[in-house]
Structure 1
Amino acid sequence: MYVLLLIIIALAIIFGVPDIRRSLIARPAFKFFKRVLPPLSKTEREAMEAGDVWWDGQLFSGQPDWHELLKMPPPTFTPDEQSFIDNQLETVLAMIDDFDIIMHRRDLPEEIWEYLKKEGFFAMIIGKDYGGLEFSAAANSYIVARIATRSLSVAVSVMVPNSLGPGELLTHYGTQEQKEYWLPRLATGDAVPCFALTGPEAGSDAGSIPDHGVVCKGMHEGKEVTGIRLNWSKRYITLAPVADVLGLAFKLDDPDGLLSDDKSPGITCALIPTEHEGVEIGDRHLPLAQAFMNGTTYGKDVFIPIDWVIGGADYAGKGWRMLVECLSAGRGISLPAVAAANGHLAERMTGAYAFVRQQFGLPIGKFEGVQSAMGRIGGLNYSLESMRRLTVTALCQGKSPSVVTAMTKYHMTEMGRIVGNDAMDIHSGKGIQMGPRNYLANNYMGVPISITVEGANILTRNLMIFGQGATRCHPYVMKEMDAAANPDEEAGLRDFDSLLLRHIGFAAGNTFSSFWHGLTGARFANTPVSGETSYYYQQLSRMSRSLALCADVSMLILGGDLKRKEMISARLGDILSHLYIASAVLKRYEDDGRQQADLPFVRYSIEYHLHQIGVAFDGFYQNFPQRLIAGTLRFITFPFGIHYKAPADVHAQDVSEAMMKPGVARDRHTFLCYWQENAEDMLGHMELAFLSMHKLKDLYKALKKAQKQGTLEDDLHGDRLVEAALAAELVTAEQAEELRECEKLRMAAIGVDSFAFDDVKKGTFNAL
């Protein structure tokens, strides 16, 4: 007893007396922290500091405030935005023929280009003062996504000027003169922009761009001015072949100190008219099965005046921060919108096709093998739309959460790939035969484009999500890094000492809470709701605690090596990401009024993400290099083992059944899809067949029964089925006409396009 009391008193003195604590604990820890601190380059630090911390910080803290999440208002549209969606957007959707765009023109028709320019589709992020629409992230995302269900080529053409590019950079950083000159031209479409960042030697590692500029004197418009002599070679630049103005990122040197004492200011962004002397717009690329404009640009010894630098001379060398700050917002809108479109399209059309397409006398959606894939489509589409919506919520709040948008871009494009693969597997021949009625193939082949651009997914997962999240989202690490970097070591030590004490308490709290939740299955964790989903909140709170603990230990043990242990850090990033996605699912369920019809989708989705969290934790423990530490962490966080299972078969079956039922729930889950009530329409032919067959489902059931009884032959369809049913007096004349029309729609829906042999050889083919 006395020994315990002495230990308590000693600890109280050590931790309670600042000078003793600093001497015995803080100073040695400070030295250790500085030693293991991963070295950061200038560009890495700028990327680390870009953007905001949002709900990701709550999840990383181990104590997410669910009430705060649920009280965030979901994104809505202004009257102007809703009017544009109801009118201009619907008009352009009706103009799109994706088969013609890709297979015949390899370009958008001139009338679509002109309509997009005239109606401001390229000016959604430009302020009204400059003639733009000044739309919210919610409207931007919705418009791009809805177009993407019709044509990825048109969607990309719209999204690029409204994502990372001259319009956004000028809005945030341009001089008043630059804004007044360029933004009205961009808003009206008189100037089509592109932004040239990627080159042969710099893809995802954009900080290594070799394109180079030197500050010097030169002639411009008959006068000698201070400017930059540029050399560049860029590729994969969307809209470059049709661009009027080129946004260019390059490394800048100032050897003569014409701008400042800094001889190497670094990455800089400039805006250059493509008609300027020396600017070369090169050849087009042909991205997978798409027709959006993408190509190359070059320049050799091109002289530009210094006031063409975006933001003017004061912003020379600040280009990298400008880029990562803008990209963190755009990354959360453009490609996630395309992924959501793929999910909506896959769910709506696969549900319809699985009901319309029949084998062995049953819709193929009744077979368990098909239901397994349909469950994934429906469950992950619910996740996709939930994640899109939650990330847009952050952007509409004026936040620019770089870790959240990186997670959103990576996981939504990957989930989009999964649902696309499953939809193609179920559609089979219907999916692979190209033609005007094929609504899957072009988007399916475009998925790798989304995977590759705006930061390749491999890099995003392995380096960005946890690498940035561990420091930005952690409540203390970034502040401790700042303290360690303080040139006044004593001042840094004092700051570090204060942070360290709180960090120790934070780690201890997460350790004990993780173990307690592991012992109790998190049954005593707080939850903001009652009912079935309360269990999911408790499990996510538990996993948040476990992530915070494992992240702390990893940074402590591995230090700077964690930066190179990409497989370890990627798994921790996966845990954070699936926590975020599951949070989005639960919030959407609440925002939509806890719809009973959504519960199968919520169950599938949350159990999928919990299972992925369990897989990531298991991989982390198996591969953590310090085996004793790994075993200890596993015991603390999962004392009885990891028991999260993949979604049960019954959940997949419930989702697949819901996908094959017309009605409000199906419409809510697939509202991004555009289709026309026309049997020749890309989606309309399937939608009309699906609705018609549901209307006559009782009649079809009676005919199937008659076939089993031998009253009708088994292999009848189309007009033969109608005539046989009439002859057997199984249908009335009125029913026969309805059945005839339904059979016509059904056969068209399960059919595929075909083309005249000679026309295909000539390249002048149209569907037969």
Structure 2
Amino acid sequence: MSDNRKPAAPDPHDFLDVDGGLEETERDVRDAVRDFARKELTPHVADWFEAGTLPDPRGLAKAFGDLGVLGMHLEGYGCGGSSAVAYGLACRELEAVDSGLRSFVSVQGSLAMTAIHKYGSEEQKNTWLPRMAAGDAIGCFGLTEPDSGSDPGSMRTRARKEGSDWVLNGTKMWITNGSVADVAVVWATTEDGVRGFVVPTGTPGFSANVIHRKLSLRASITSELALEEVRLPAGALLPESRGLGSPLSCLNEARYGIVWGAAGAARACYEAALDYASNREQFGKPLAGFQLSQRKFADMVVDVNHAAMTSLHLGRLKDQGRAHHNHVSFGKFANVAAAQRVASTARGLHGANGITLEYPVMRHMVNLETVATYEGTEDVHALSLGQAVTGISAFR
């Protein structure tokens, strides 16, 4: 039986109606985070970016806690227990404002809280997770080092046993929230391999120095951690952490958030360019009316919708327990590249105005340089995909 009803014209802001596939609870999360982000974050983010910091990280943590996005995908201990798709939508709406703000939430929930939730003792979980979920305590995640980025197995941070205590020495680099954190999850090499430790940042010998002069991810706090004879009790060890696979599994959670976040950044740049080109007149007509401009919008709307579809499909796989870490690599590799293309094209459509903080595109464009690097560089994810399809590792 034929249906003669005429389909509705595509919505330029969701061309393939990807969000039409969301469930009611997922739409509620999307709308709540989008509303918060646009009212509480968007009016200030350009100033924060220009200043190169977050002026009130504790207030922001508490606001995120009240919103319910900190560790929202974890079960129990004051966490929300939401679906992977709902968490992804929160990441998308936050990064549509700025990558640094999504990173704040991601590092707290997908890295520090996830490490404690997956590998910690009951005492560690009960001590930290409810406070972190509420935004009353800030966490950071210490894996990357000055000489150990893509190859974390070469880390130099060491933990030695002295009686029942552990003593840590080493340096961690590019640590989001490091200088404002109450607790750091630090990974170190021991006689038994790589293990994780819960380190209260007030412990003697622990220090964190803010990294200045960043040209990307400026609306965030990035630090270097130094551990000099940091003595910890036996209970500081994450008892279930075993080997490098433990921190890498946390990174996979963070990468999943990036898949959605990059889709949000791409959407924001596309929408900014569409609004600008529709209202900017040159040679007697809107910039959007020229053939060259329309070809650029065609390319952008394809990238934006491909990224949205990839995010949602990966989220569904994750909620079904079917998302392999190579699937996440696929998502990060594809969506970040798509977002970079969209941001670059959108910046060009803005002309000279595109380099100012009056518009979001240049800010997203430079932020995406960092997004392409952290939680696995583009090259590392390309090699992961290459290994997945050929069965041959090119890493060593």
Report if aligned partners of 2:115, 2:185 keep a CA contact under 8 Å in 1: no
Out of 403, 409, 414, which is 2:332 matched to?
409
Out of 254, 259, 276, which is 1:330 matched to?
254
**Structure 1 equivalent of residue 244 of structure 2:** 320
Say if 2:381 is the partner of 1:460.
yes
**Structure 1 equivalent of residue 360 of structure 2:** 439
SS at match of 2:232: strand
Report if aligned partners of 1:161, 1:194 keep a CA contact under 8 Å in 2: yes
SS at match of 1:331: helix
Report if aligned partners of 2:157, 2:188 keep a CA contact under 8 Å in 1: yes
Structure 1 CA distance, aligned partners of 2:34 and 2:359? 22
What residue identity is the alignment partner of 2:150? Answer: S
Q: CA deviation at 1:565?
A: 9.4
Say if 2:151 is the partner of 1:209.
no
**Structure 2 equivalent of residue 509 of structure 1:** none
Say if 2:176 is the partner of 1:176.
no
CA spacing shift, 1:286–1:411, aligned 2, 3 Å: farther
What residue identity is the alignment partner of 2:232? Answer: I
Structure 2 CA distance, aligned partners of 1:199 and 1:285? 17
Q: CA deviation at 1:190?
A: 2.2
The residue correspondences of 1:355-434 to structure 2 (distance < 5 A) are 355-434=278-357
Structure 2 CA distance, aligned partners of 1:343 and 1:373? 14
Q: CA deviation at 1:232?
A: 1.1
What residue identity is the alignment partner of 2:138? Answer: V
Structure 2 CA distance, aligned partners of 1:296 and 1:348? 36
Structure 1 CA distance, aligned partners of 2:77 and 2:61? 21
Name the one with the larger helix percent: 1
CA-to-aligned-CA distance 1:49-94 (integer Å, 9 cap, x gap): xxxxxxxxxxxxxxxxxxxxxxxx955353xx65554446523530
**Structure 1 equivalent of residue 171 of structure 2:** 233
Say if 2:86 is the partner of 1:166.
no
Q: CA deviation at 1:424?
A: 0.8
Report if aligned partners of 1:234, 1:297 keep a CA contact under 8 Å in 2: yes
Report if aligned partners of 1:75, 1:392 keep a CA contact under 8 Å in 2: no
Structure 2 CA distance, aligned partners of 1:565 and 1:243? 34
Q: CA deviation at 1:160?
A: 1.8
Q: CA deviation at 1:443?
A: 0.9
Out of 205, 212, 219, which is 1:291 matched to?
219
SS at match of 2:256: coil
Single out whichever of 344-353 and 376-385 deviates more from structure 2. 344-353
Out of 47, 53, 69, which is 1:106 matched to?
53
What residue identity is the alignment partner of 2:386? Answer: F
CA-to-aligned-CA distance 1:187-230 (integer Å, 9 cap, x gap): 2222211000000110011111111112231xxxxxxxx13221
What residue identity is the alignment partner of 1:155? Answer: R
What residue identity is the alignment partner of 2:376? Answer: G
Q: CA deviation at 1:108?
A: 4.3
Structure 2 CA distance, aligned partners of 1:445 and 1:269? 32
**Structure 2 equivalent of residue 351 of structure 1:** 274
Structure 2 CA distance, aligned partners of 1:459 and 1:231? 28
**Structure 2 equivalent of residue 123 of structure 1:** 71
Say if 2:103 is the partner of 1:156.
yes
Out of 176, 182, 188, which is 1:250 matched to?
188
Structure 2 CA distance, aligned partners of 1:565 and 1:303? 35
Report if aligned partners of 2:260, 2:311 keep a CA contact under 8 Å in 1: yes
SS at match of 2:174: strand
CA-to-aligned-CA distance 1:526-580 (integer Å, 9 cap, x gap): xxxxxxxxxxxxxxxxxxxxxxxxxxxxxxxxxxxx54499xxxxxxxxxxxxxx
**Structure 2 equivalent of residue 22 of structure 1:** none
Report if aligned partners of 1:232, 1:298 keep a CA contact under 8 Å in 2: yes
CA spacing shift, 1:190–1:431, aligned 2, 3 Å: same
Report if aligned partners of 2:61, 2:136 keep a CA contact under 8 Å in 1: no
Say if 2:80 is the partner of 1:133.
yes
Normalising to structure 2: TM-score of the pair? 0.87
CA spacing shift, 1:112–1:212, aligned 2, 3 Å: closer
| Structure 1 unmatched runs, 5+ | 1-72, 218-225, 254-264, 472-561, 567-768
CA spacing shift, 1:108–1:158, aligned 2, 3 Å: farther
**Structure 1 equivalent of residue 232 of structure 2:** 304
Structure 2 CA distance, aligned partners of 1:328 and 1:75? 23
CA spacing shift, 1:155–1:563, aligned 2, 3 Å: closer
Structure 1 CA distance, aligned partners of 2:235 and 2:329? 33
Structure 2 CA distance, aligned partners of 1:77 and 1:209? 45
Out of 192, 204, 209, which is 1:277 matched to?
204
Report if aligned partners of 2:210, 2:221 keep a CA contact under 8 Å in 1: no
Q: CA deviation at 1:469?
A: 4.3
CA spacing shift, 1:76–1:207, aligned 2, 3 Å: farther
Q: CA deviation at 1:451?
A: 0.6
- Give the number of the structure whose alpha-carbon radius of gyration is greater: 1
Name the one with the larger strand percent: 2
Report if aligned partners of 1:166, 1:271 keep a CA contact under 8 Å in 2: no
Report if aligned partners of 1:77, 1:139 keep a CA contact under 8 Å in 2: no
Report if aligned partners of 2:70, 2:132 keep a CA contact under 8 Å in 1: yes
Structure 1 CA distance, aligned partners of 2:56 and 2:30? 21
Structure 1 CA distance, aligned partners of 2:355 and 2:236? 48
**Structure 2 equivalent of residue 145 of structure 1:** 92
Higher RCO structure, 1 or 2 (CA under 8 Å, sep 6+): 2
CA spacing shift, 1:325–1:103, aligned 2, 3 Å: closer
**Structure 1 equivalent of residue 6 of structure 2:** none
CA spacing shift, 1:158–1:563, aligned 2, 3 Å: closer
Structure 1 CA distance, aligned partners of 2:378 and 2:371? 9
Report if aligned partners of 2:38, 2:97 keep a CA contact under 8 Å in 1: yes
Normalising to structure 1: TM-score of the pair? 0.46
Q: CA deviation at 1:244?
A: 0.4
**Structure 2 equivalent of residue 662 of structure 1:** none
Structure 1 CA distance, aligned partners of 2:395 and 2:178? 38
CA RMSD of aligned residues (A): 2.3
SS at match of 1:213: strand
Report if aligned partners of 1:98, 1:151 keep a CA contact under 8 Å in 2: yes
Structure 2 CA distance, aligned partners of 1:564 and 1:138? 32
Structure 1 CA distance, aligned partners of 2:97 and 2:90? 11
Structure 2 CA distance, aligned partners of 1:440 and 1:381? 14
**Structure 1 equivalent of residue 10 of structure 2:** none
Report if aligned partners of 1:328, 1:401 keep a CA contact under 8 Å in 2: no
CA spacing shift, 1:236–1:309, aligned 2, 3 Å: same
What residue identity is the alignment partner of 2:322? Answer: K
What residue identity is the alignment partner of 1:269? Answer: G
| Structure 2 unmatched runs, 5+ | 1-19
Structure 2 CA distance, aligned partners of 1:451 and 1:339? 9
CA spacing shift, 1:155–1:273, aligned 2, 3 Å: same
What residue identity is the alignment partner of 1:136? Answer: S
Report if aligned partners of 2:140, 2:185 keep a CA contact under 8 Å in 1: yes
SS at match of 2:244: helix
What residue identity is the alignment partner of 1:94? Answer: K
